[in-house]
Amino acid sequence: MININSTALAVSLALASGSALANPELEAMKKQLEQMQQQMQQLQQKLEAAERKSKQQEQEQQQITRRIAKQEEQLEQSVAQQSEEKEEGIRIGGAVRTNYSHTSYDDDNKNRGGDFDFDIFRVNFAGDIGDVELNAEIRFFDYMTAVKYAYVGYDFADDWQVQAGITKVPFGNWPYNSHNYFFGTTYYVGLEDDHDLGLLFKRKIADNWQLDLGFFKNDELGGVDGYVDNRSDRYSYDVVGFRSADEGIYAEPTNAIGEYNTFSGRYGYHLEHEGGKTELGVSGLRGDLHDGDDRVGDYYAWAVHLNSTLGRWNLQLQHGEYNYDIDNVDRMAVGAYSFYDSIAAEATMTNANIAYSLPVKWGAVTGLQFYNDYGIIYDKSDNSADTWMNVTGFSVAAGGLFTYFDLVHAKNQPFVGGSIAGDSDETERRFNINIGYYF
């Protein structure tokens, strides 16, 4: 800043030294200079006062800015804490489902124009406390109660989670090898949506690939000597015995066995392309069989699978084999839904499914999916006829309601007038509507 006092003094001295000016004029100029000097001093004082005020205002603004930043930080921390407190905990949901069916294989059902029955009431638990996640589902039927899954999960690395309890066996197209209410033919031999007791290590999708590795000590009911009243009271199919030559297809097995020490793995590679993505995968499992006293055999299964989405279309393909290896045994007993059935000890499986999803806005209806699912089980070790099932239908999403409309044609298929160990030449039909309210 220029010093106004010094400048005024220099000008005054220069004029005073000028000899060309008369004394009266010089005195007048001196007075004017003195007045100007006083004015300049006053102006400088005002400038200095204004500068002090500006600095003070700047300091006050900085203090206000710091206070606002601190308040914003405290607010963010408070919101984050409230959000964590709100999200942490166990949430409860569930569903109630009813079912209508009209069949070709039950004359009484046809005479009544079909039957409308209660299906299930189920309760789901999901959430986390701390870093531990809980997921569980229990299903209540008229004739049994079954736990579908119940496990705790922990993310022990950025891309890995471990699950312990009754958890899903990784195998085949995920999460289902089907689109319809009846699943695919693989479900009825225990290779779709199966759940057992053990550990599952899941690698989350990263770098375009996913890996699931599981070790299952035994099935969800505790194996061959589990403390249960009925070993067929379960959601998913498991081998519970082997059949002798004179034993009925639906009889309670006289030779009880159970799966144990099963290792299972599923690998999927994801390809992104225009309009969607495709997963190419391979699955395999191997375990042992026990009769309560000794190991009596082993079993294995493998499959290659494809699950591709292109726009609104979805294509699923799967092919594989399974084999239960017990000396001189070619037929196994399985249990689920509170009854026993039979399957060949060894067979080949193939599935081909296609679906089209259509988002809509028709009142409460927000989505439709049209599908055709086909599966076949053949080359059976017990020389029984092929099992095949074709399901043509569509599903409707409307708020909390989700409904399947299925027309099933099948041969030697459970729940469609037959058994996988059956030997019928008849093609049976079932028209089915399953209505579920989810909350």
425-430 long-range contacts, CB within 8 A, separation 24+: 425/385, 426/105, 428/103, 428/104, 428/105, 429/103, 429/104, 430/101, 430/102, 430/103, 430/104, 430/105, 430/406
Give the pLDDT confidence score for residue 20 in this predicted structure: 44
- What is the pLDDT averaged over residues 165-179? 98
Residue appearing with tokens 């699978």: 305
Which amino acid, 91? R
CB 41 within 8 A of CB 4: yes
Provide, rounded to the nearest whole percent, the portion of the chain with pLDDT above 90: 78
Which positions ≥6 away from 301 have C-beta within 8 Å? 171, 191, 283, 284, 285, 320, 321, 322, 323
Q: Indicate whether 15 pLDDT > 90.
A: no
Q: Alpha-carbon distance 280 to 59, whole Å?
A: 64
Q: Indicate whether 28 pLDDT > 90.
A: no
Q: pLDDT tens-digit profile of 215-232?
A: 999 999 999 999 999 999
Q: Indicate whether 145 pLDDT > 50.
A: yes
Structure token digits, residue 294: 């000794």
Give the pLDDT confidence score for residue 82 in this predicted structure: 54
Q: Alpha-carbon distance 265 to 385, whole Å?
A: 30
Q: Where are the domains of the chain?
A: 4-79, 92-121+165-438
- What is the pLDDT averaged over residues 93-105? 98
Give the pLDDT confidence score for residue 138 in this predicted structure: 98
Distances (CA, A) of 360 to 61, 133, 183, 364, 395: 55, 35, 25, 10, 13
Give the pLDDT confidence score for residue 66 in this predicted structure: 65
Give the pLDDT confidence score for residue 4 in this predicted structure: 45
Q: Indicate whether 115 pLDDT > 60.
A: yes
Provide, rounded to the nearest whole percent, the portion of the chain with pLDDT above 70: 87
Computed over every residue of the chain, the mean pLDDT equals: 90
CB 136 within 8 A of CB 144: no
Strands 258-273 and 195-206: unpaired
Give the helix ranges, DSSP H, for 352-411: none
Higher-confidence position of 61 and 199: 199
Give the pLDDT confidence score for residue 2 in this predicted structure: 45
Q: What is the CATH number of domain 92-121+165-438?
A: 2.40.160.10
pLDDT band at 26 (very low <50, low <70, confident <90, very high): confident
| Burial readout 393-419 (b: 16 or more C-beta within 10 A, e: otherwise) | bbbbbeeeebbbbbbbbbbbbbbbbbb
Give the pLDDT confidence score for residue 401 in this predicted structure: 97
Give the pLDDT confidence score for residue 65 in this predicted structure: 61
pLDDT band at 14 (very low <50, low <70, confident <90, very high): very low
Is omega for the bond preceding 170 within 30 degrees of 0, making it cis? no
CB 83 within 8 A of CB 416: no
Half-sphere exposure (Cβ direction) of 156: Cα atoms closer than 13 Å = 10
User: 27: exposed, middle or buried (C-beta count within 10 Å: 0-12, 13-18, 19+)?
Assistant: exposed
Q: Alpha-carbon distance 308 to 318, whole Å?
A: 12
pLDDT band at 47 (very low <50, low <70, confident <90, very high): confident
pLDDT band at 100 (very low <50, low <70, confident <90, very high): very high
Give the pLDDT confidence score for residue 16 in this predicted structure: 46
Give the pLDDT confidence score for residue 13 in this predicted structure: 45
Q: pLDDT tens-digit profile of 181-194?
A: 999 999 999 999 99
CA-nearest of 242, 156, 229, 241 to 199 is 156
Q: Alpha-carbon distance 286 to 262, whole Å?
A: 6
Structure token digits, residue 139: 């299903």
Distances (CA, A) of 58 to 12, 52, 156, 167, 308: 38, 10, 50, 63, 63
Higher-confidence position of 64 and 2: 64
Q: pLDDT tens-digit profile of 251-267?
A: 999 999 999 999 999 99
Give the pLDDT confidence score for residue 70 in this predicted structure: 61
